[in-house]
């Protein structure tokens, strides 16, 4: 079993924006994330710990300005916390092992796919293409990622 964890080396390798988002619970500007328009098949993992978070097959275009997913690929790798910042009540999403701030989950997703929208910052994610998943240690998740986007 792979051990996913936050390391000083991983945090030190973050760009300023990645650090702001993951370590200081920041938010990237809408429409600017490097993975927003990615339609390739693969796996989205925590940029800090490498833990698998979302499958490309669960990504959809919500129009909100951030990558949106209907569910996590491994629910145990995602923590949901009450967030009362900015004068509103929301549910924050963090990686369970890396403790990275990922974004928020809302109940306005596609009804036919569970009704949730995981609104996630690109800066908190690293994308692993399906063709590279086995070599990168994510072969156990291949059956959850479609062959074509």
Q: Is residue 87 part of a domain?
A: yes
Strands 90-95, 68-69: pairing kind = unpaired
Q: Is residue 3 part of a domain?
A: no
Neighbour tally for 76: CB within 10 Å: 9
* Local mean pLDDT, 10-residue blocks, the chain (149 residues): 87 97 96 96 97 97 96 94 75 95 94 96 98 96 82
Q: Is residue 35 part of a domain?
A: yes
Q: State the sign of the Cα–Cα–Cα–Cα dihedral 66, 71, 74, 79.
A: positive
Q: Is residue 26 part of a domain?
A: yes
Q: How far apart are CA 120 and CA 140, in angstroms?
A: 23
Neighbour tally for 86: CB within 10 Å: 8
64 given a catalytic annotation: no
**In whole angstroms, how far apart are CA 82 and each of 64, 71, 85, 126?**
21, 18, 9, 25
- 36, 48, 105, 119: the catalytic one is 119
**What is the tally of structural domains in the chain?**
1
Instruction: Identify whether the C-beta of residue 119 lies closer than 8 Å to the C-beta of residue 106.
Output: yes
Instruction: Identify whether the C-beta of residue 126 lies closer than 8 Å to the C-beta of residue 47.
Output: yes
| CATH number (domain holding residue 123) | 2.170.150.20
pLDDT of residue 1: 57
9: buried, middle or exposed (CB in 10 Å: 19+, 13-18, 0-12)?
Answer: exposed
User: What is the value of pTM for the model shown?
Assistant: 0.93
């Amino acid at each position: 079993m792979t051990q996913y964890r936050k390391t000083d080396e991983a945090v030190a390798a973050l760009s300023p924006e990645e650090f702001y988002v993951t370590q200081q619970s920041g938010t990237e500007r809408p429409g600017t994330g490097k993975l927003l328009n990615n339609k390739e098949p693969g796996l989205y993992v925590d940029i800090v710990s490498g833990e698998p978070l979302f499958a490309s097959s669960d990504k959809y275009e919500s129009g909100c300005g951030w990558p949106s997913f209907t569910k996590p690929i491994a629910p145990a790798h995602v923590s949901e916390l009450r967030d009362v910042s900015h004068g509103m009540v929301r549910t924050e999403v963090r990686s369970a092992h890396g403790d990275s701030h990922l974004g928020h989950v809302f109940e306005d997703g596609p009804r036919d796919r569970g009704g949730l929208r995981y609104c996630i910052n690109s800066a908190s994610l690293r994308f692993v293409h399906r063709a590279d998943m086995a070599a990168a240690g994510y072969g156990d998740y291949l059956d959850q990622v479609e062959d074509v986007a």
